[in-house]
């Protein structure tokens, strides 16, 4: 099953400075032409954390549907601000599991289990010490809950290639290109880490005029193919 995986930090659909304009983000998601999209910051931060990305618009504008899971509250689209979108035909066979993470701030990951691949969506902490703990926990848990074809993707909040990612040594870490800040991208915060049972066919950053306005991050993508070892 060859598929396109994408990751996109929506920054609560406010662009760099506002206003709240989720239609821009949904148009960017549609431009990715992805089969699975890991999203970060889909909810507002305070109170009951209501959705910043309106779920009622998602399928009409992107052709994708949210993977079913329990949000942070009844008003939230995401858990710790994260959700996954996928093709409707994949949703019937998908299972989702929430993975609490250690660290100074409340953080969590979502594991999407499909028949041929497990995708773990992440948004790591701001402190490198927390990120190291979180990645170690994820690698240990992911190996037990899903397929040998494993992907971790999201906003790693890590700008270095040689520090903070030590726990990912069993995986191949891909940073398709600078993705932050969107108007003049310099840093590779957004990454994809894959197990040896996946083949990378192509990767990229969606860098368009609309994507540079819609969020403070540009989305990344990769075309992947599971194979038997």
pLDDT along the chain (229 residues), means of 10: 96 94 98 98 91 97 93 91 96 91 90 93 94 91 76 94 86 95 97 94 98 98 89
* Contact (CB, 8 A) for 84 and 97: no
In the chain, DSSP finds a helix count (H) and a strand count (E) of 5, 12
Q: List all residues 6 or more positions away from 169 whose beta carbon is below 8 Å from its beta carbon.
A: none
Domains and CATH numbers, the chain: 3-226 (3.60.10.10)
Written as one string, the DSSP assignment of 133-177 is HHHHHHHHHHHHHS-SSEEEEEE-----SSSS-GGGTTSEEE--S
- Measured in degrees and rounded to the nearest 5, phi and psi for residue 2 equal -75, 135
Phi, psi of 122 (to 5 degrees): -135, 155
Rounded Cα distance between 50 and 205, Å, is: 29
In the prediction, which pLDDT does 229 show? 62
From the list 68, 72, 102, 74, the residue with the least C-alpha distance to 86 is: 68
pTM exceeding 0.85: yes
**Quick one: pLDDT at residue 146?**
62
């Amino acid at each position: 099953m060859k598929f396109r995986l994408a990751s996109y930090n929506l920054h609560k659909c406010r662009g760099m400075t506002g206003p709240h304009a989720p239609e821009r983000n949904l148009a960017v998601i549609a431009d990715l032409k992805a089969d699975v999209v890991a999203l970060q910051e889909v909810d507002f931060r305070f109170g009951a954390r209501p959705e910043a990305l309106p779920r009622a618009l998602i399928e009409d504008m992107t052709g994708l549907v949210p993977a079913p899971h329990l949000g942070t509250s009844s008003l939230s689209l995401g858990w710790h601000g994260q959700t996954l979108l996928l093709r409707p035909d994949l949703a019937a066979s998908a299972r989702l599991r929430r993975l609490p993470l250690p660290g100074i701030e409340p953080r969590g990951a979502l594991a999407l289990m499909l028949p041929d691949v497990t995708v773990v969506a992440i948004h790591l902490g701001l402190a490198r010490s927390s990120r190291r703990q979180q990645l170690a926990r994820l690698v240990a848990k992911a190996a037990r809950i899903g397929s040998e074809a494993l992907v971790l993707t999201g906003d790693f909040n890590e700008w270095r290639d040689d520090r903070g990612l030590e726990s990912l040594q069993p995986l191949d870490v891909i940073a398709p290109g600078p993705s932050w800040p969107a108007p003049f991208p310099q840093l590779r915060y957004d990454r994809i880490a894959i197990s040896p049972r996946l083949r990378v066919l192509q990767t990229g950053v969606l860098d368009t005029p609309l994507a540079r306005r819609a969020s403070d991050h540009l989305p990344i993508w990769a075309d992947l193919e599971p194979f038997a070892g």
